[in-house]
């Protein structure tokens, strides 16, 4: 009797394993399918790291119990290698060296969450912004790219954070996208690039409505080269407090009318559709460049996604090249969300990379990386 129960249990577990393999293989398609038309597959791409861990657990289990049954999961892992290599960085962990090597350029990218504009506690907002300032200053970066940046634009205004960073941290050159005006256009939100090296040209491409945003480019003179630096923020899902309540209802099986499920799916599909348009515009702009290219920003998508794959084509991911592990950049929802990235073309060599960890001052982590140039401007 006990032997029969054991055999039945193993058969059921093997069927679950097969279903798991199918889901993993479907997630492998996320970078190559239309994320709007095939949104369930796009969602599976978000779960990819967890699916890989689950597959490893199955392999270890079957190796102990029935080694032949481990072959299917092992084969699925082999087919998943391209996505594994873009998701996990397998480099030796290294301490980030603060002192810059001669001939290198240091870039920081960080979504700074509107500089605590939505924080109701003014004292806390000031403290959080002071901490952001300190962390940016400590990087000693040559170029700083910030997304969801909020600032007054009137000279002398006490909340002109743009001027504060430029003056107190010695960034004489900057370009601000001014995407979204507030308070009679005395304040703006958007993406901004600060540089210690001269900016000789700029460009801005506005994304299609209803999203309010853009991608910006600066031509920066570095030693005897001119490099193009791009930064942007793509459409997020815009989950609100009610959406998180809906997720809990789905988890607890109390979403009987499927109202919450429908709202969440609609937001996901809308975000996928807008990001697809935005990444195509951004990539086309980058492809026009004849210079060494650095792209940084909050793309609101993980490595196993259409957005990442489209940007990554003919480019390198600095975290994959020099980082270690998953390198998550968003604090909430999941420990696997690396949605902020720095890409570079073959005109650069990545030297080192690290994250700027944050707590309450921002919901994203920043990325800091050093590069050297291998090719001259064409």
Least confident piece of the model among 191-195, 228-232, 257-261:
257-261
pTM: 0.91
pLDDT tens for each residue of 133-186? 999 999 999 999 999 999 999 988 888 999 999 999 999 999 999 999 998 889
CA distance 367 to 354: 6
pLDDT tens for each residue of 319-362? 999 999 999 999 877 778 999 999 999 999 999 999 999 988 99
pLDDT tens for each residue of 63-118? 999 899 999 999 999 999 999 999 999 999 999 999 999 999 999 999 999 999 88
Phi, psi of 246 (to 5 degrees): -65, -40
Domains of the chain, each with CATH number or no CATH: 2-87 (no CATH), 104-373 (3.60.10.10)
- Whole-number pLDDT of residue 332: 79
**119 band by pLDDT with thresholds 50, 70 and 90:** confident
CA distance 166 to 155: 12
Residue 301 has pLDDT above 80, yes or no: yes
- Whole-number pLDDT of residue 283: 97
Residue 337 DSSP code: -
pLDDT tens for each residue of 242-294? 544 555 554 555 555 555 567 777 788 888 999 999 999 999 999 999 999 99
Q: Give the CA distances from residue 23 to residues 17, 45, 48, 51, 203, in Å, rounded to whole numbers and listed in that order.
A: 10, 10, 9, 8, 42
- Please choose, from the candidates 142, 198, 207, 155, the residue with its C-alpha nearest in 3D space to the C-alpha of residue 175: 198
**25 band by pLDDT with thresholds 50, 70 and 90:** very high
The residue that leads in pLDDT, 254 or 301, is: 301
Strand order in the sheet with 225-233: 199-206, 214-222, 225-233, 293-298, 340-344, 316-317
- Whole-number pLDDT of residue 343: 98
Half-sphere exposure of 16 (CA within 13 A, CB side): 13
CA distance 193 to 212: 18
**241-246 long-range contacts, Cβ below 8 Å, gap at least 24?**
243/267
**7 band by pLDDT with thresholds 50, 70 and 90:** confident
Chain-centroid distance of CA 74 in Å reads 29
């Amino acid at each position: 009797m006990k032997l029969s129960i054991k055999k039945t249990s193993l058969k059921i577990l093997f069927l679950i394993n097969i279903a798991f393999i199918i889901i993993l293989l479907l997630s492998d398609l996320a970078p190559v399918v239309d994320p709007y038309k095939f949104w369930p597959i796009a969602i599976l791409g978000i779960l990819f790291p967890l699916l890989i861990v689950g597959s490893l657990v199955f392999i270890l289990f079957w190796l102990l119990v029935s080694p032949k049954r481990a072959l299917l999961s092992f084969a699925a892992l082999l087919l998943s290698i391209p996505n594994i290599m873009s998701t996990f960085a397998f480099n030796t962990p290294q301490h980030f060296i603060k002192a810059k090597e001669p001939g290198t350029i240091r870039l920081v990218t960080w979504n700074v969450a509107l500089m605590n504009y939505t924080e109701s506690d003014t004292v806390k907002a000031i403290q959080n912004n002071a901490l952001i300032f300190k962390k940016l200053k400590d990087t000693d970066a040559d170029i700083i790219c910030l997304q969801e940046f909020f600032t007054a634009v009137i000279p002398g205004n006490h909340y002109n954070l743009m001027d504060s960073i430029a003056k107190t941290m010695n960034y004489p050159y900057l370009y601000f996208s001014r995407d979204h005006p507030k308070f009679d256009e005395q304040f703006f939100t958007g993406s901004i690039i600060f540089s210690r090296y001269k900016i000789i040209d700029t460009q801005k491409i506005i994304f299609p409505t209803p999203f309010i945003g853009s991608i910006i480019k600066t031509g920066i003179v570095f030693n005897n080269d001119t490099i193009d630096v791009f930064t942007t923020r793509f459409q997020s899902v815009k989950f609100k407090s009610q959406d998180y309540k809906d997720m809990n209802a789905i988890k607890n099986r109390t979403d009987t009318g499927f109202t919450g499920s429908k709202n969440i799916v609609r937001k996901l599909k809308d975000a996928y559709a807008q990001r697809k348009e935005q990444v195509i515009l951004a990539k086309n702009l980058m492809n026009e460049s004849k210079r060494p290219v650095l792209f940084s920003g909050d793309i609101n998508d993980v490595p196993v996604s259409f957005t990442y794959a489209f940007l990554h084509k003919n480019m390198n991911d600095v975290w994959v090249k020099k980082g270690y592990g998953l390198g998550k950049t968003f604090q909430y929802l999941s420990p696997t969300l690396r949605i902020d990235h720095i890409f570079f073309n073959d005109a650069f060599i990545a030297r080192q990379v690290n994250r700027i960890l944050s707590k309450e001052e921002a919901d994203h982590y920043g990325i800091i990386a050093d590069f050297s140039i291998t090719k001259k401007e064409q």
